[in-house]
A and B are shown apart, each in its own frame.
Chain A
Amino acid sequence: EPEVTQTPSHQVTQMGQEVILRCVPISNHLYFYWYRQILGQKVEFLVSFYNNEISEKSEIFDDQFSVERPDGSNFTLKIRSTKLEDSAMYFCASIGRPNEKLFFGSGTQLSVL
């Protein structure tokens, strides 16, 4: 089965530093998402992206966050100035067309010290 690939699997950073989390969605997919899960809590929606623009974002996705699809294959999440509370597992997901199952990557564990 096709896979969503995320790198790195773990990222440790100092508070206030910028991080970029990378994702390669499934190649023919058109809708892209970032979710996060703080340890033991729910899987939270951050942002969706379609046709090279943000479709919807949550209140978590403030000005410190941005997403980009710099080429035909990568989809990135940037956190400009990390805070302790940004520590979480970040998941990228994609779908090919409406009302399909979300395919998730294996996640990037972000630890902000």
Chain B
Amino acid sequence: DQQVKQNSPSLSVQEGRISILNCDYTNSMFDYFLWYKKYPAEGPTFLISISSIKDKNEDGRFTVFLNKSAKHLSLHIVPSQPGDSAVYFCAASKGTYKYIFGTGTRLKVLA
């Protein structure tokens, strides 16, 4: 089930710079998108979400952009901090019964 893809398995960014994590999806029926952060041996932690009726949502250092025509969403983290180093998953849903996760991008923020 490859409906949600994160094509970059890893990303390294200098502290203070912008981190941009990307996610592509194939199902145009998805109407809700989320980003999660995950540390090893812990459950995913919610970061930010966006409904398909919007194209941008911002929460502090985190901004999610949705481009429905390209079926693409991205997460921007500005400024990046060493504590942001983790694996980031995007997820998408239509209705409530199934949230599909991408393969994850490991972000490393270098001090």
Contacts and interface: CB of A to CB of B under 8 A. Distances in A.
Interface in A48-88: 48, 50, 55-56, 58
A97 B93 CA distance: 13
Interface residues of A, number: 29
B43 interface: yes
Contacts of A104: 36, 43-45
A4 to B, nearest CB: 8
Contacts of A18: none
A99 B93 contact: yes
Nearest to B106: A40
Contacts, number: 66
B99 A102 contact: yes
A3 B95 CA distance: 23
A105 B104 contact: no
A109 B41 contact: yes
A101 B36 CA distance: 10
A89 B31 CA distance: 28
A106 interface: yes
Interface in A91-112: 91, 93, 95, 97-99, 101-107, 109
A24 B38 CA distance: 21
Contacts of B96: 31, 48, 50, 55, 95, 97-99
Contact of A58 (B1, B44, B46): B1
Interface of B: 1, 31-32, 34, 36, 38, 41-46, 49, 51, 89, 91, 93, 95-104
Interface of A: 4, 31, 33, 35, 41-45, 48, 50, 55-56, 58, 89, 91, 93, 95, 97-99, 101-107, 109
24 contacts: A35-B101, A42-B103, A42-B104, A43-B89, A43-B91, A43-B104, A45-B98, A45-B99, A45-B100, A48-B97, A50-B96, A50-B97, A55-B96, A56-B98, A97-B96, A99-B31, A101-B34, A101-B49, A102-B44, A103-B46, A104-B44, A104-B45, A106-B42, A107-B42
